[in-house]
Structure 1
Amino acid sequence: MKNKPAYPLGSVDNALLLLHMLRDQGRLKVTDVAKELGIARSTAHRLLAMLVYRDFAVQDEHHTYLPGPFLGPAAGDGGGSSLRELRAHVRPAMEALCARVRETVNLMVRMGTEVRFLDSIESPQILYVGDRRGTILPAHRASGGKVLLSSLPRDQLAHLYQDLPDQERASLLRELDEIRPRGYALNLDDTEQGVSAIGAALRNGRGTPVGALSISIPSARYTPDRLPSLLTDLRQSITEAEPHLTNFPPDPPEALDTRPHASITTRQPTNGTT
């Protein structure tokens, strides 16, 4: 028989109860949590957001919360392979790519209309794009996200972006039509000022995208004439990684996070800044 602590922390208790609910029920909405715990919707939303932040929960495009990586296989991972396995499969190719291009290399997966950075290997240069692990960005603005979106049928894209203004949605669809045949996408200051990136999809043995690799570069160092060599190196790394993904589940996990993340970092302070 467990005794309740003399000075219980209500917020901690609610968060732990939420973990039980996620484990036992599998799918939760903010209204369900508020009703079950007897708390305000705003409080329920904040609790769920913290669980997402710490990978105990993920959120899909329907605003439903599901068990996250720390509670078992993530939603949509196709039958048990974890995000840790995906990172392990791809990391050797990422390390080789970073060594060749001397720029930061990232692994990401699509989660509805967002992309989550699963792994990063930082550039050894003084001015570099920093580690982005855990960062969430809009898929239609990130290079890897654009490539992953380009593999989706138009009706699914229309559903995902039904809330976009008509003109912006039409522009996005045109851009994805251009990306689809060439197989890579660019992000030139689209997500963060001063950061440029090139991304391409990783596919399993059935040709289904399971993630994307990107090279992130300070815009001050990126010029269009670098694109051919960067693209060659990126494609080489994808060729190195894909044999290890032959049987990897086809669908990336669905989640959502809004954590801000710094991108450009200098290894040595300049004029009092970093």
Structure 2
Amino acid sequence: MDKPLKTPPPYLVRSVDHALRIAAMLQLEGELTVSEVAERLGVARSTAHRLLAMLVYRDFAVQDERRLYRAGPVLELAAHSPSAASRLRAVALPHLHRLVGVLDESANLVVRTGDTVRFIASVECAQTLRVGSREGMVFPAHRTTAGLLLLAELTDDELEEVYAADRYADRPEERPDLAALRADLARVRRTGFALNQGRSERGVVAVGVPVRDPGGTVLAGLSVSMPGARYDRHRLPSLVNTLTRAAGALEADLARPA
């Protein structure tokens, strides 16, 4: 059996969670101000300042002469390598906000690295019962909606390489059933979208479509997530249509010169 997707620990340390989210933002996006961090986390500027001060103290962040924060020595690779994910996220955010405005459900943008995916952008809806932000978090690719979309682009040989048995020698229980996974990926290729009903988290439903570059290569997965109690299968065609239009608009923006 696969392990369940990450769930918050029973005693969530909010300050630690905030600090880790800031580190992920700095790594993915580059420079940020105190106000930007405060807005993204939904905390006071004084709280954001204290969190950033601790990250600076531990070398996860540095502050320059413009009073901007960026990745520090611990995140040095990200600090010196402008990331394509940073531009992808920046271009995608307005589209995620529009999706949330139309559907009133949380929206995400996800990229793949090997057998994992990272949520590089996440916008929560305003409903009291909602799926929370996953921004900066990393999950097994085969357990997520966007992960299925990204894995569906691989050939059989490439899929075998990603999930080679020797890579899982010390954690065989985490290796997916490749026959079942291939069947799932064939369905994604046939329909052009991915539907995840409790695959990653019990009680959560997600629907996603791919985001492609001008050459047709899939760059990311665009998805919306909602509590299962609010999902209506009769809405699926409408959800896919709305997501497909949003992905097309995002692709058009990405095709423009930076």
Band the TM-score falls in, shorter-chain normalisation: 0.5 to 0.7
**1:246 aligned to 2:255?**
yes
Contact 1:203 1:245 in 2 (8 A): no
**Which structure 2 residues correspond to residues 5-24 of structure 1 after superposition, within 5 A?**
none
**Which structure 2 residues correspond to residues 64-79 of structure 1 after superposition, within 5 A?**
68-69=77-78, 71-73=79-81
Query: 1:109 & 1:56 partners in 2: Cα distance?
Result: 23
Given candidates 114, 125, 129, the residue that maps to 2:116 is: 114
Partner in structure 1 of residue 144 of structure 2:
142
Partner in structure 2 of residue 155 of structure 1:
157
Task: Find the structure with the greater CA-based Rg.
Answer: 1
Identify if the C-alpha distance between structure 1 residues 55 and 127 changes in structure 2 by more than 3 Å, giving closer, same or farther.
farther
Partner in structure 2 of residue 174 of structure 1:
183
Report how far residue 171 of structure 1 moved.
0.7
Letter in 2 for 1:215: V
Partner in structure 2 of residue 263 of structure 1:
none
Unaligned 5+ runs, structure 1: 1-49, 59-65, 74-79, 250-274
The secondary structure found in structure 2 opposite 1:181 is helix
Partner in structure 1 of residue 89 of structure 2:
87
Partner in structure 1 of residue 225 of structure 2:
216
Identify if the C-alpha distance between structure 1 residues 111 and 124 changes in structure 2 by more than 3 Å, giving closer, same or farther.
same
Letter in 2 for 1:162: A
**Which structure 2 residues correspond to residues 15-54 of structure 1 after superposition, within 5 A?**
none
Query: 1:109 & 1:137 partners in 2: Cα distance?
Result: 11
Query: 1:172 & 1:55 partners in 2: Cα distance?
Result: 37
Contact 1:94 1:106 in 2 (8 A): yes
Given candidates 192, 197, 200, the residue that maps to 1:183 is: 192
Given candidates 230, 251, 254, the residue that maps to 2:239 is: 230
Letter in 1 for 2:251: E
Query: 1:206 & 1:129 partners in 2: Cα distance?
Result: 33
The secondary structure found in structure 2 opposite 1:128 is coil
Partner in structure 1 of residue 131 of structure 2:
129
**1:204 aligned to 2:206?**
no
Contact 1:143 1:186 in 2 (8 A): yes
Report how far residue 230 of structure 1 moved.
0.8
Over residues 95-130 of structure 1, what are the superposed CA-to-partner deviations in whole Å (9 max), with x where a residue is unaligned?
A: 111111000000110011111001111111111001
- The alignment-based identity, stated in percent, is 37
Please give the TM-score of this superposition, normalised by the length of structure 2.
Answer: 0.65
- Name which of structure 1's ranges 108-117 and 240-249 shifts more when overlaid on structure 2: 240-249
Query: 1:176 & 1:186 partners in 2: Cα distance?
Result: 11
- Bigger proportion of residues as helix: 2
The secondary structure found in structure 2 opposite 1:193 is coil
The secondary structure found in structure 2 opposite 1:180 is helix
Report how far residue 81 of structure 1 moved.
4.6
Letter in 1 for 2:152: S
Structure 1 consecutive aligned stretches of length 4 or more whose deviation exceeds 6 Å: 54-58, 164-167
Tell which has more relative contact order, 1 or 2 (C-alpha 8 A, sep 6+). Answer: 1
Please give the TM-score of this superposition, normalised by the length of structure 1.
Answer: 0.61
Contact 2:142 2:176 in 1 (8 A): no
Identify if the C-alpha distance between structure 1 residues 144 and 81 changes in structure 2 by more than 3 Å, giving closer, same or farther.
same
Contact 1:145 1:212 in 2 (8 A): yes
